Amino acid sequence: MERGYSMGFKGAAIALFTVAGVVATSGTAEAAALPSYEQWQADVKQVMDPAIPWLEQRVAQGGENLAIVLDIDNTSLETEYHKGEPNKPVLAVARWAKDHDMAVLFVTARSFSGKARGDLAKAGYEVDEICTRGLIERFGKAKARCRKDLAEQGYTITANIGNRDTDFQGGGFEKEYKLPDYDGELS
């Protein structure tokens, strides 16, 4: 009995080691599969270029507490390419929104708002609210729950800007601006 238990533990340790090996391999493949910074920026710009013209129309239509929602990593910030730096085409839209009395709200898979707030401020963002993911909440569900919470606070979420499918699951916004994630390679 004692011996059986100890072999079971060893088996589990080997299994864990194997999983770690697979993760390391896919990490290397991920880096190789990402496009250049210039290509990423060109792709981001293509998605973001129509955002301000659309927001101009949307503001003209009117409404209560108009807001935009932004994902943080690889959307607001260049987390993968230049950690902590603002993703400029997205920052431009956030600044335009602030200048036109819209709220700028962040919905993130990060679980701690304090550091996120500091990172965003350092990158030049004015932050009205940050909604974070609960530690055991699934990404897509957390983000949908955040948008629901923000709507209940009275915000009208117009544009929702993110780079993963989980940024859009569950709706609760008027228009999506989906930045590239290169089939999941860009987290």
Determine, following the binding rule CB under 5 A, whether residue 78 of this chain makes contact with Mg ion.
no
Interface with Mg ion, residue 73, by CB under 5 A = yes
Q: Does 71 bind Mg ion (CB under 5 A)?
A: yes
Phi, psi angle pair for 167, to nearest 5°: -75, -15
Contact flag: residue 163 with Mg ion (CB under 5 A) = yes
Q: Please, what is the minimum distance in Å from the beta carbon of residue 119 to Mg ion?
A: 13
Q: Which stretch binds Mg ion (CB under 5 A): 32-40, 87-95, 132-140, 162-170?
A: 162-170
CB 70 within 8 A of CB 107: yes
* Using rule CB under 5 A, residue 119 touches Mg ion: no
Least distance CB 167 / Mg ion (angstroms): 7
Q: Interface with Mg ion includes 87 (CB under 5 A)?
A: no
Distance spanning both ends of the chain, measured CA to CA: 45
132 belongs to the binding site for Mg ion (CB under 5 A): no
58 or 133: CB nearest Mg ion: 133
**Cα–Cα dist 125/72, whole Å:** 11
H or E, element range at 37: helix 37-48
Size of interface with Mg ion, in residues (CB under 5 A): 5
- What is the secondary structure of 78-147 as a DSSP string? -TTTSTT-B-HHHHHHHHHHHHTT-EEEEE-S-S-HHHHHHHHHHTT---SEEE---TT--HHHHHHHHH
The least distance separating Mg ion from the CB of residue 99, rounded to whole angstroms, comes to 24
Minimal distance, residue 158 CB to Mg ion, in Å? 19
Q: Which residues contact Mg ion (rule: CB under 5 A)?
A: 71, 73-75, 163
